[in-house]
Structure 1
Amino acid sequence: MAEERSGGLDRAWHELPRELADHMRPHLDEVADDMIQTIRARVSEYDRPADGAYSGTTRQAVERVLHYFVDRVADPDHDSGPVTDFFRGIGRGEAAEGRSLDAMQSAMRVGGMVAWRRISEGAAALEVSPRTLGTVGEVLMQFQDELAAAAAEGFSQARSAVAGEMQRRRKRLLDLLFADPPVGAEAIADLAAAARWPVPRTVAAVALARRHQRDARLPAFPPDVLVDLTRRTPSLLVPDPDGPGRAGVVDRSLSGGLAAIGPTVPVAEAARSIQWARKTLGLAERGVIAAGAGVIRSVEHMSTLILFQDEELVTSLAELRLAPLDHLRAGQQDRLAETLLAWLQSGRNANEVALRLHVHPQTVRYRLRQLEDLFGDQLMDPDLRFDLEIVLRARALLPDGADRRVPPPAGEAVGGDSGPSAVVTNLRR
């Protein structure tokens, strides 16, 4: 279709009498003045001082258009490249100045009407046939569309370039905010200004599961959210996360994938928020923290995060405190560990333990006697009971089979006795 329209326009140019150019050329300056005066009167953005740079560009554009139009009437094969390139440049300039193309397009319509009026007046004096006059009108409108398309192309190119540069600045800003140790406030402020990101009072970091991008369409985040989905752990930084309605907006943006939101912190402590968000995400991916609706808040799982902050340390404590269970079969270990944790959490009340575990009180008492035989006086020491509750809570949070089927979280070592698989194995002994 585009080729057909182009071919039709070329034929129209060839149908015009060449001598029309000779009649138009002496009046070009007068027509340019008329067009500029009318544009300034009807398009407020162009009502500028006549000696200003903007008015100078306007005159240059009008004169180029008129001269090219007449040159092409004289020679239908006249090269349109220079004038369309000029309008691409105008489009790029409007984008660089942060303006839209609305004013320019309005000016082109006004200019086209003035040109058609002057052509009609001249055609009447020359007794041009209606057919020829119609062809002039056709090429005039098509030519106007061609120039508008060139300006739109330049505008789009510039906007894309600006958007790409702005995105690069925002990613760099995110790097600085997540840096540990923190970067100076002055460097943050400078880059934030360059990235057009108003520095907020508080922020919350978000860590996204990598499968978020595979399983769901890329979410549309609010424009003030810093985003980098190319990181090893795709990340966001949300300004003013506790503001009115903010939580709902963020949750909707994150729907469709697994995401962990770190605690709200001052901007200077953004690195701490992303660290806790990543830790929370890692535990959710391993099944330690229930994913629920897919959006997890670190502040709702602080005790679990504390328990798993140093898994090697918890493992060592488990090896020490749960050693009396070592010689038992796996099923026996699970039943006695579950009973011991319920007993510690129930204020050492056997009947309440039975209610918690949905077993007969006599079964609980039998297990408690086994535990007394295994642990002896340790169960009477408050400090040792506290240690036992720590390791048993951590053990209970780990999903069954996690040690063999869930890979280590991103960023942690694979293999060796200190990896998460070893921790899980030891805690589930």
Structure 2
Amino acid sequence: MRQTQELADEPFSRIPPELAHHLRPFLDAIRKEVVAAIQAEIPEYDRPTNDTYTKTIHTGVELGLNLLLDRLSTPGISAQEVINIYRGIGRGEAREGRSLDSFQGALRIGARISWRRIVSLADADVLPREVLGLLGEAALVHIDEIATATSAGYAEAQLHLAGELQRRRLRLFDMLIAEQPPTEEAIRDLAHAAHWPVPASLAVVVVDHHWERDTLYPILPPDFLARFDQRPGCIVVPDPGGPGRTRAVDSALQGHRAALGPTVQLTEGARSLRWAMDALTLARRDVLPGGEVVRCSENLATMLLFQDEALVDALAERHLGPLERMRPPYRARLADTLLCWLQCSRNANEVAGRLGIHPQTVRYRLRQLDELFGDRLQDPDARFEMELALRVQQLR
């Protein structure tokens, strides 16, 4: 690295220091011509109504030319001053959200115009021709150092901005799923700072994954907010009912066990998260299918039944006790027949078709159930509660 810098400094050390004195009187004219060319050729820098911006361009061009002459007049000057200044300019370009393409284009224009003027001075015998080659080499080194320093500062700022943006998005994520509901105004303020388009609604997805064994996280659309530094992983889906959202969620989570909570308002993310967690728990138990994204909206009845299993067990104890008198294998067949009969509006032929058995077998079992339960099979409330208890048993 030191050897490279010594090579870069060499042309400056071989140029007579008094050369800068010959060039300084022409500096203002060169600056004006360079600025005019930049504004003519690069629309982004052409802002005639913005005096501050125009002054900044003039100052930037003058700075580059002055630094070159300073290095010519004092060969011992380190390139570090150039590097520090243009690193700062690169950081500023990144913070302003501009591409470096325009800046680098302006740098090329500045180099072209400046060199044209310097050659014309040599032609007019103002500048000694014998130093023209060295001056050209020094100018190229100077421009290269400016470009390199600006790019480095730009990349450094982009990295910092990306990190800051990610931190803001993580804070926004935590706010959206907080148990203490945030205000919509607070969400909008932080969303603006995080460059996150505020949706009309959202839903929360929870994802089962062995992150420590598999670091290939789901690839998500840029407006999805996610945290995979915890188990289960968690994703906030903006406007889940929007075009292509269902396909985007399914595609990103293919091969993962996941549950999608209900669509809620901006301030109700915690509710969507709770329901998604409940659904994921049931998917882990195979109560709900776990091979694809489980959607709470499609499994509300099952989720309701499993909100308090002890309560459903008490219901079963109250209404299904007579089945306990039967031997286990036959008890299960009678329970299946009873549930199917309740679901089929007590139609024996339909029960036979669903269970794949002879109608006579169904009637025989129904007579046994009638002996076990008696008048309770005629009570609508009792039948409803029996069906609930039997459904939970079957899902388990």
Tell me if TM exceeds 0.5.
yes
Counterpart residue identity of residue 40, structure 1: Q
1:389 alignment counterpart? 387
Q: How does 1:244-393 map to 2 (within 5 A)?
A: 244-292=243-291, 294-326=292-324, 328=326, 330-393=328-391
Residue matched to 2:130:
128
Q: Which residue of 2 aligns with 1:402?
A: none
Q: Is the 8 A contact 1:207 1:278 kept in 2?
A: yes
After superposition, what is the alpha-carbon deviation per residue over 1:354-379, rounded to whole angstroms, capped at 9, x for unaligned? 32222344444444444344434333
Match of 2:7 among 11, 27, 32: 11
Partner of residue 187, structure 1:
186
Q: Is the 8 A contact 1:259 1:281 kept in 2?
A: yes
Evaluate the alpha carbon distance shift between residue 27 and residue 15 of structure 1 in structure 2; reply closer, same or farther with a 3 A threshold: closer
Q: What is the distance in 2 between the residues matched to 1:50 and 1:349?
A: 84
Q: 2 CA distance for matches of 1:277 and 1:338?
A: 30
Who is 1:403 aligned against? none
| Alignment-mate amino acid for residue 147 of structure 1 | I
RMSD: 3.2
Structure 1 residues 50 and 176: alpha-carbon distance in aligned structure 2, compared to 1, 3 A threshold = closer
Deviation at 1:50, TM superposition (A): 11
Structure 2 distance, partners of 1:119, 1:78, is 22
Structure 2 gaps, min length 5: none
- Measure how far apart 1:309 and its partner are: 1.9
CA 1:19–1:215 in structure 2 vs 1: closer, same or farther (change >3 Å)? closer
Matched, 1:101 2:103: no
Distance 1:358 1:213 in 2: 47
TM-score (norm 1): 0.78
Give the equivalent residue in structure 2 for 1:170: 169
Q: TM-score, with normalisation over the residues of structure 2?
A: 0.84
Distance 1:51 1:253, change over 3 A: closer
Match of 1:45 in 2: 44
Segments of 5+ residues of structure 1 without an aligned counterpart are 399-429
Deviations 1:152-171 (A, max 9, x none): 22222222322332333333
Structure 1 position 251, deviation (Å): 3.0
**Native 8 Å contact 2:12 2:138 kept in 1:** no
Amino acid at match of 1:381: D
Deviation of 1:60 (Å): 4.1
**Match of 1:92?**
91
Taking the aligned partners of 1:246 and 1:68, their CA distance within structure 2 comes to: 54
Letter in 2 for 1:80: A
Aligned to 1:371, the other structure's residue is in SS state helix
User: Cα distance 1:145–1:312, how it changes in 2: closer, same or farther (>3 A)?
Assistant: farther
Give the 3 Å change call, closer, same or farther, for CA 16–225 of structure 1 in structure 2. Answer: closer
- SS where residue 128 of structure 1 aligns? helix
- Counterpart-to-counterpart distance in 2, 1:63 and 1:355: 91
> 2 CA distance for matches of 1:170 and 1:357?
53
Shift of the 326–189 alpha-carbon distance from structure 1 to 2, 3 Å rule, reads: same
Structure 1 residues 251 and 213 mapped into 2: Cα distance closer, same or farther (>3 Å)?
farther
1:51 Cα offset (Å): 9.4
* 1:227 aligns to 2:223 (yes or no): no
Whole-angstrom CA distance in 1 between matches of 2:50 and 2:170: 42
Q: Bigger CA drift: 369-378 or 315-324?
A: 369-378
Q: How many angstroms apart in 1 are the aligned matches of 2:372 and 2:66?
A: 102
Do the aligned partners of residues 347 and 27 (structure 1) sit closer, same or farther apart at CA in structure 2, a change above 3 Å counting?
same
Distance 1:373 1:123, change over 3 A: farther
Residues 17 and 7 of structure 1: CA distance in aligned 2, closer, same or farther (over 3 Å): closer
Percent of matched pairs sharing the same residue = 45
C-alpha distance in 2, partners of 1:210/1:107? 50
Aligned length: 390
- The Cα of 1:316 is off from its aligned counterpart by 2.1
Task: Classify the secondary structure of the residue corresponding to 1:208.
Answer: strand
The CA distance in 2 between the partners of 1:76 and 1:331, in whole Å, is: 99
Alpha-carbon distance in structure 2 between the residues aligned to 1:295 and 1:202: 19
Specify the code of the residue in structure 2 equivalent to 1:322.
L
